[in-house]
Amino acid sequence: MIAIGADHGGFELKEKIKAYLDEKGIEYVDYGCNGTESVDYPVYAEKVAEAVATKQAEKGILCCGTGLGMMLCANKKEGVRAICTNDSFSVKFSRLHNNANVIAFGGRTMGIEAVLYNLEIFLNTPFEAGRHQKRVEMYDTIL
Ligand code: RB5
């Protein structure tokens, strides 16, 4: 299961991503928000991060205006490794080397085609483990 959430700045992007997940038959839980009325992004980042940290969700997707507030908040939760980038190479290596488990997107900064392209990479690229396993474990000890 994928956990997905957004604030008002990412709401419309979240809805487009949900349409993509529906089309692909990927199961998800939507943690809100439910419209474009102004809300506080940390509320939704925490819900999605909690679902990932407790392993209710395998991965998380967060959308806000830039993706940055969501990424910053999600990374405060132990066991969460959140990224925010429009660079496909970095998305791929965030999975291979960093075992990233949350991706944040910017509804005001990223186009839907690039978002879906990068989401597909994020969802389908495995963690390489090996020499990266220890480094990810070290990351998780920094509290
Ligand atoms: C909301 O205006 C905006 O600050 C938020 O969506 C996000 O971009 C924060 O990082």
| pLDDT tens figures, 101-113 | 999 999 999 999 9
* Domain spans, the chain: 2-141
Q: How far is CA 88 from the centre of its chain?
A: 14
Residue range 83-110: mean pLDDT, rounded: 98
Q: Across residues 97-101, what is the average pLDDT? A: 98
Residue 68 CA: which ligand 1 atom is closest? Answer: 10
CATH 1.20.120.530 fits 2-141, yes or no: no
How many Å lie between the centroid of ligand 1 and the Cα of residue 66?
Answer: 6
Residue among 13, 66, 71 to mutate when testing ligand 1 (max atoms within 8 A of CB) = 66
Structure tokens at 137: 């474990």
| Ligand 1 neighbour 107 (Cβ under 6 A) | no
Residues 6+ apart with CB under 8 A from 58: 1, 2, 52, 101
pTM for this prediction = 0.98
What is d(CA 37, CA 63) in angstroms, rounded to the nearest whole number?
Answer: 15
